[in-house]
Amino acid sequence: MPTPRTPQPTPRAPQPTPRAPQPTPRAPQPTPRAPQPTSPPPAPDLALLEAQQGRHRRPQERQASYREVFAIGEFRALWSAQVLSYTGDQLAQVAIAILVYNRTHSAFLTGLAYALTYLPPIIGGPLLSGLADLFPRRRIMIICDLIRAGLVAGMATSGVPFPVLCALLFFTVLLGPPFSSARSALLPDVLQGDTYVLGSAVGSITYQSSQILGFVAGGAVVALLDPSRTLALDALTFVLSAVILATWVKRRPAPPREQPDRPSLWAIACQGAVLVFGNPMLRSLVLFGWLAGFYVLPEGLAAPYVHVLGGSTLDVGLLMAAMPVGTVIGAFAFGRLATPSTRMRLMGWMAMLSCAPLIGSAAHPPLWAVLALWTVSGLGGAYQLAAASAFVQSVPDSGRARAFGLAQSGLLAAQGIGILIGGALAQAIGPQLVVALSGLLGLTAAALLAMGWTHRRVEVIASIRARSEVSEN
């Protein structure tokens, strides 16, 4: 059938011959119109692309569950090691305070020994945290655990002179920053996407819970045993932590170096400072983290605050536990209920919420109202989960440990300096006004950071969606 039809157009070809010139001028007419349909399509295509992104947005931002996080064996190992570390720290703080006082009967020397549990991380954090960027992070954690086990075992020995005890304590605490920086830098390799945020929430809840229960349980353990045996138990927790890490955490190579030569510790610290403060995004996120210096200050004034209100020793404990309880609730809810992009949008508001309730202390409210205000402040402190998540996404893997070490050391310094200044001011104007002033200054700083974050969060949200799309593909 097709064959006989081929010759039919042949006799008709001469008929349109005179008409051929008519379409000829029309042929160029579509030619100028050809570019016209080509330029409009981008607009519909962009609209279609946005519609497609809108349709895919919810699956990309599906929140992970805590069950998914704990289903990962490596995370369970890291979390178990963290629990042992926090338990040992709480036992050691109580045991050392009692041990030093029993030997010296000096409140000053007891306070000095207790202060040694806070000062070394501020000094050694920026210098030693970079070790986890030069060597395998799992190895750094295991070595730190084993060395600390030996040092604490030395403190548990009876008859250790006070200067030797202080030196052993100093170096034990000094190894905390490289361990925690290595763990923080390793966690994003173990938990991908939104599971990292929930893993961070679990870590925050674990830490705050140890603060709530640790001192009570630590006092009970020391009363049941004695300070030396409690320190021996602390040494055992470090050994168990090293065994868990060596058994259930995978071996990974050291992160790639930006420079072929191995830099000195001082050079590592300087590079970490340049990395964080030379990047506007990282600088903003670190300052968000350091806001804790404003809303943690009231915990250091809990005792004089309750004294002004005429409360009891039990009320001091309740007031000190109010913020950690709020943080535990806020971290669980914020990590589980909010989508990744929603967390980034709410981060500035949550940061302001962590400081604003403290201003109410200026009205001299009763104790029950103070407990409520401090608990709400703790709820707002859950914004640190979003800040940590954005920080991890913004810092390169080769400098992750240095950046975390600097951020953590600065946070400890902000808290310590804030409590020191707050205590001095409370002697002059009273703890209630100091808490209110701290809340006002913190709210002002949080508002300034939140205004700048409004523009920067767009980049972070786009990065979250891009990584979610890549992981799905």
Question: What are the residue boundaries of the structural domains of the chain, listed by start?
Answer: 63-252, 262-473
Query: What's the rounded mean pLDDT across residues 11-36?
Result: 44
Architecture of domain 63-252: Up-down Bundle (1.20)
pTM: 0.70
168 in Cβ contact with 155 (< 8 Å): yes
CB-hemisphere CA count at 13 Å for 160?
A: 22
Q: Supply 386's token pair.
A: 């979003």
Q: Supply 284's token pair.
A: 């903003």
**What's the angle, vertex CA 236, arms to CA 235 and CA 239, rounded to 5?**
95
pLDDT digits (tens, 9 = 90+) for 111-170: 677 667 667 777 777 888 888 888 999 999 999 999 999 999 999 988 888 889 888 988
* Topology match between the domains 63-252 and 262-473: yes
Q: Cα separations (Å) of 150 from 83, 130, 154, 182, 292? A: 19, 23, 6, 20, 33
pLDDT digits (tens, 9 = 90+) for 343-395: 888 999 999 999 999 999 999 999 999 999 999 999 999 999 888 888 887 88
pLDDT digits (tens, 9 = 90+) for 204-237: 888 888 777 766 677 677 778 888 888 999 899 9
pLDDT digits (tens, 9 = 90+) for 245-287: 999 999 999 887 666 666 777 777 788 888 888 888 889 999 9
Q: Supply 225's token pair.
A: 């045993």
Q: Which of 73, 260, 268 is nearest to 178 (CA)?
A: 268
User: What is 262-473's CATH topology?
Assistant: Growth Hormone; Chain: A; (1.20.1250)
Provide the residue count of the chain.
Answer: 473
